[in-house]
Each structure stands twice: as C-alpha cells, then as structure tokens.
Structure 1
Amino acid sequence: MASHAQCNLLHAYLDDELDLGRSMELEDHLAECGDCANEIASYRALREGIHAADLRYQPSSEFRSRLLSTLQQQERPQPTLIQRRIPRWSWAAVAALLLLASGALLLDLNQRSERRLASEIVTDHVRSLMASHLTDVATSDHHTVKPWFTGKLDFSPQVRDLSADGFELIGGRLEYLEGHGAAAIVYQRRKHIINLFTWPTPASDEEPQATAQQGFNLIEWKHAGMYYCAISDLNRQELTELASLLQK
C-alpha cells in the first residue's frame, strides 16, 4: 500500500464499505502510518463524544420549546422587505426543517458508528481464528480468567462459567476496539467459537439486539455501564441463549 492511504479509501473504511480483506489490509497500514491513524482517530473521537453526551436522534422537547417560544415573541426587530413578503408561518416551517435536518444528521452519524463498530468486531473475530491467537490466557476456570485482566485493563470484565448450559469457557484475551482496551471472553459451543467483547460505556441499558454481518451472527446489549457483543457462526437462537444466560 502507498505511504499514505487515499482519502476516499479512508472514508470507505470509516463508512464500512470495504470488504473484509481490504479492511484488514488497511488496518495493517494504519498500524504503521501515524498520519492516517490520526485521521481515523479523529473521527472515532467525534463519535465517542456524541455517545458520551448521550445525544439522541432528535433535539429535546425543551430545546424545541425554547426555539418556538423565541420565534413567537411579540417584540421583534423591524422586519426587512423580504421578511414582510414571507408569512410568519413560513419561519416556523423553516425551524421545523432545521430540527428535522439536525435529527437526521445525528441518526446518520449513529448508524455509521454502529456499522463501523460491527465491522471492527467481525475483523477481530476473524483475525483471532486465523492467527491462532484465540486466547492470551487459556483455561476453563473463570476464577483464573477474570483476575488475569487485572492491571491490563481499567475495568474488571464479567467472566461466567456456563459449561453446565453447554457453553464451555476456554479463555480470554486483550483487544483494542473503538480506540480503547477491551476484553474478549472466549466460549465454545460444540465446534463453534464465540467471542464475547466487552468494555465500559456511558450509554444507558439496552436489550439484546441481533444482527448479521459477513456470515456471522452478532448479539449486542448494554447493561450496568458495560457494552457486550457476542459474535460467532453459531445460529442466532443459541447465541441469543448465551446472551440471556450472561444477563442473569
């Protein structure tokens, strides 16, 4: 790859428009090119700022009320010639359009963020299978896996022994997702490997949501200040069962 990735290639990467092979090739480049890595990091910082502020798809009702109240005030500057020709209701329509546009922009940013995160998770899952680096600590003892992360992350991940339910714990490893450290707890169901990624999040609790990407099933949810995503080629029903067990 050239000394710097092309701008349109970086944008395609951010928008999750590259195939898995091209995405992995670009990530190898980002590991060596500080300029390109900084450009990617700036977008991720913007996304994290939006999440941290708990922005929604639409402006708050308080904001809408203040804006409409301002528009309806009786004392106004002397209207210009253009203002005299435009009915008062038209300004309210303009304000409504601006509100809709801002809501649509936030929605688009949020959807791009979710697609980008899903792509990162799929890439890390595939890499863990291809590189024979599935675990940093290989054991079925959750009392060994959980304390292994101490001092390596700024949080303590949940590690559950679910062997009685058919999900065998085989270890854990460190990952780097969304610009920060993450824990990957590895389970196995028959011959299917399951990566459970988790890290802290400022977002409120969310029920499990199932998606599919590049042939893998993903179940993600948020609970008690933590984000979770289980990914595998296991069928969706059994992967959802794992998510339910982890929430008990």
Structure 2
Amino acid sequence: MTCEEAEVLLHALIDGELDAGHAREVEAHIAGCAHCAALMQEYQEIRQAMAESDVQYKAPLELRRRIEQALPQPQVQANVQPLPSRRAVLRGFAMGSAVSAIAATGLVAIVLRNDDAQRIEAEMVSAHLRSLQAGHLTDVISTDQHTVKPWFNGKLDVSPPVIDLTAQGFTLIGGRLDYVDARAIGAVVYRRRQHVINLFVAQTANTERRAAQTATLQGFNIRRWSDRGLNYWAVSDLGADELAEFGEKFEGAMRANKEG
C-alpha cells in the first residue's frame, strides 16, 4: 500500500468504516511509515479535541415555539378538508405510513444517485491521474489475461473480467488495486498507442444492463456502463470515439465469452 492510498483511508479507519482486511492493510502501512503515522496521530488528536469541546448547540424551546406560532394556520371552510399544516407535513415524513416513507426514500435515492455518479466519476479521474505517476500504473504486469485475472483472486469480493483486446488494437498491460470512495476496486489497464486506458470495475446490486454513457471531466473521457452485476468506468485521454470503440470491443468480447 502506498502513502496516497493510505491517506485516502485514514479517516475511514479512525471512524471504524473499514472492513477487517483493509483495516489491517492500513495499520500495517502506518506501522512502517513515519509520515502516515504522524498524519494518523494528528487526525486522532483533532477527533479527540472535537469530542471534548462543546461544539454542539441546541436551540432553546422558546425559539421553537415562536417559529411554530409564526407558521400560517390552515383556513377551515365548510365541507372542505383542511390543508395540513407544515407541522403535520413534517410529522408525516418522520412518522408517516410505510408507503409515505418508501416514497420519500425513493425520491431521495434518485437525487443521491445522480450526485453520487458525478462524485464517483471525479474520483475515477483522480485515480487515473494517480496511476500515471511512476510506479503506480500496475501491480501485476502482463499481457496475458490468464495471468492478470487470477492475480485479483482473494483481493476483491468479485474479480474483474480481464479480456485480451490486443488483436483489436488495445493492448492489455496489467492490473492493480485502486481505492475509490474509500473502497478497494479493480483496475484493468490497457494501452492504445501512447494512451493509457484504466478500466475500473466494481460490483453492484443492480444486475440490469445499462447502456454506455460518455462524459468528459478535466480533459479526460469517461465511458461508463453496467452489465451482469458489475459497473464499468473506462477512463483515458483518448478521444471519445476511440474510447467508445474500446468499450464496444470489450462488451462484444464479453458477450462472445458468455455465448461460448
């Protein structure tokens, strides 16, 4: 584990958000790295200082009463059902029926998914940029898919598919573990002329296939799609047309393997 990878996970370790395997990896790195050990100490001191200080403020009861009194009261007319007050609406979100709760949760989930997709894409570009630094591109170097794929076994819950696309103009050069959204993720690395393509693969609960979409961020093209319980993000400075060609070749090879 590198210092950059450890720094991403330090806060998650302090907050107890890492699984046992990743926690051991970070702790082992800290034990042998003075820089990350100092950062860990600093973060723990900040956390302790915040816990001991009175940084929370609770509004007085009188302020709540004044706000409630200022809210408009519903106008009740004959044979007309009164409109719910704002308090009733808020109470409905907090203590409503299961149907209301599900509907509200569904709405929030849609908003979070849209925001989350943009955030993840930004993290993918950052991971791509990190990989371009000397010594960061691959953990296993090989043009043989039968060497690269087994290397992932045991390191991730689901090993990413590794397809040899050399004959199609995209040379497999290896793979590595990366960290996105404070979680380990597989990256299969290809090269097109002098351009690197990082294909990030992560497991998802949604098994439906989602057609590819292309976005551009910080001068890099991102092609993302989902298929059979896996999310894919191909990131490169290749033109959008060539990155689309890569995605199509990859998906075509995956379909051929499934049919075969």
The two structures share one fold, judged by TM-score above 0.5: yes
The equivalent of 2:235 in structure 1 is 231
Q: Does the alignment pair 1:121 with 2:113?
A: no
Which of 240, 243, 247 pairs up with 2:244? 240
The equivalent of 1:16 in structure 2 is none
The equivalent of 1:194 in structure 2 is 197
Residues 151, 102 of structure 1: alpha-carbon distance in 2 compared, 3 angstrom cutoff: closer
Q: Does the alignment pair 1:144 with 2:147?
A: yes
Q: Does the alignment pair 1:133 with 2:136?
A: yes
The equivalent of 1:210 in structure 2 is 214
Q: How far 1:102 sits from its partner (Å)?
A: 6.7
**Structure 2 counterparts to residues 73-152 of structure 1, below 5 A:** 82=74, 84-85=76-77, 87-88=80-81, 105-152=108-155
**CA–CA distance in structure 2, aligned partners of residues 212 and 141 of structure 1:** 30
Residues 223, 89 of structure 1: alpha-carbon distance in 2 compared, 3 angstrom cutoff: farther
Which of 15, 35, 39 pairs up with 1:38? 15
Q: How far 1:150 sits from its partner (Å)?
A: 1.3
With normalisation by structure 1, the TM-score equals 0.62
Q: How far 1:196 sits from its partner (Å)?
A: 0.2
Secondary structure of 2:124's match? helix
Q: How far 1:222 sits from its partner (Å)?
A: 0.5
Which of 166, 170, 176 pairs up with 1:167? 170
Residues 158, 39 of structure 1: alpha-carbon distance in 2 compared, 3 angstrom cutoff: same
**CA–CA distance in structure 2, aligned partners of residues 30 and 183 of structure 1:** 16
Residues 140, 111 of structure 1: alpha-carbon distance in 2 compared, 3 angstrom cutoff: same
Q: How far 1:28 sits from its partner (Å)?
A: 7.0
Question: What is the count of residue pairs matched by the alignment?
Answer: 180
Q: How far 1:131 sits from its partner (Å)?
A: 4.0
What amino acid does structure 2 have at the position aligned with 1:213? L
What do the CA deviations read for 1:164-184 (whole angstroms, capped 9, x no partner)? 110000000111223432110
Secondary structure of 2:132's match? helix
What do the CA deviations read for 1:137-171 (whole angstroms, capped 9, x no partner)? 11101111111111222212111111111000000
The equivalent of 2:32 in structure 1 is none
What amino acid does structure 1 have at the position aligned with 2:210? E
Which of 153, 157, 163 pairs up with 2:160? 157
Q: Does the 8 Å CA contact 2:76/2:82 hold for their aligned counterparts? A: no
What amino acid does structure 1 have at the position aligned with 2:197? I
Q: How far 1:106 sits from its partner (Å)?
A: 3.5
Q: Does the 8 Å CA contact 2:74/2:83 hold for their aligned counterparts? A: no
Higher relative contact order, structure no. (Cα contacts within 8 Å, ≥ 6 residues apart): 1
Q: Does the alignment pair 1:185 with 2:162?
A: no
Q: How far 1:119 sits from its partner (Å)?
A: 1.3
Q: Does the alignment pair 1:221 with 2:213?
A: no
The equivalent of 2:179 in structure 1 is 176
**CA–CA distance in structure 1, aligned partners of residues 245 and 141 of structure 2:** 24
Percent of pairs with identical residues: 40
* Runs of 4+, deviation exceeding 6 Å: 98-103
With normalisation by structure 2, the TM-score equals 0.60
**CA–CA distance in structure 2, aligned partners of residues 202 and 127 of structure 1:** 28
**CA–CA distance in structure 1, aligned partners of residues 158 and 7 of structure 2:** 29
Q: Give the superposed CA RMSD.
A: 3.2
**CA–CA distance in structure 1, aligned partners of residues 117 and 179 of structure 2:** 16
What do the CA deviations read for 1:81-111 (whole angstroms, capped 9, x no partner)? 94733944966xx99xx98987664433222
Residues 233, 103 of structure 1: alpha-carbon distance in 2 compared, 3 angstrom cutoff: same
- Note the residue ranges of structure 2 that are not aligned, 5 or more in a row: 19-72, 94-99, 253-260
**CA–CA distance in structure 2, aligned partners of residues 131 and 38 of structure 1:** 31
